[in-house]
Amino acid sequence: MNYTYDDYKEWEGSWELMNGIAVAMSPAPMRKHQSLASEIIFHLRSQLDDCKKCEVLGEVDYKVANDTILRPDIALTCNETNDTYLTKAPQIIVEIISKSTAKRDENYKFDIYAAELVNYYIIIYPDDLVAKIYKNNDGKFTKQGDFCDEKYEFKNTTCKIALDFKKVFERYRD
């Protein structure tokens, strides 16, 4: 059976909908996952004081199509007008990898986010403290690099944004 957004919004629990197929979300993310997400949201949000067009959201529904609703860990979105879910491609999406979501984040979501023209896709590997950043070029992601201690400035965003991964990851280093 192929489900739609109307079905999805009635379900209890945490789900994503991928091409009409219901996908149960994992149990609540581990503490380190949650902490890293909070750290990244903090670093992004602290740069938006002078840019009221954009906001940083965690665990928000992104309605790609009537049969595809994804829930990225973090999204930087600009000029969004819908209060229920995201309707426009976020400028930055961050997914923090866990064993249960790795294939989905690295393959399925990767392809959807590229096709939807998400400007930047960041995949965080919490065990390695590495961020892989991809930039969208005409519907295909090009890898910008692996970041552990470096700062990356996002050029293709409405607001001036950068992430300093030395600061993001510093509390998790031994």
pLDDT of residue 18: 84
pLDDT of residue 19: 87
Q: What is the pTM of this model?
A: 0.89
Continuous segment of H or E residues that includes residue 39: helix 31-45
Number of H helices, E strands in the chain: 5, 12
Position of tokens 């938006």? 48
Continuous segment of H or E residues that includes residue 54: strand 54-58
pLDDT of residue 24: 75
4-16 pLDDT tens trace: 898 888 888 788 8
18-44 pLDDT tens trace: 889 888 776 555 778 889 999 999 999
Q: Which residues of the chain have pLDDT under 70?
A: 26-29
Q: What is the DSSP string of 74-118?
A: EEEEES---SSSB-S--SEEEEE--TTTHHIIIIIHHHHHHHTT-
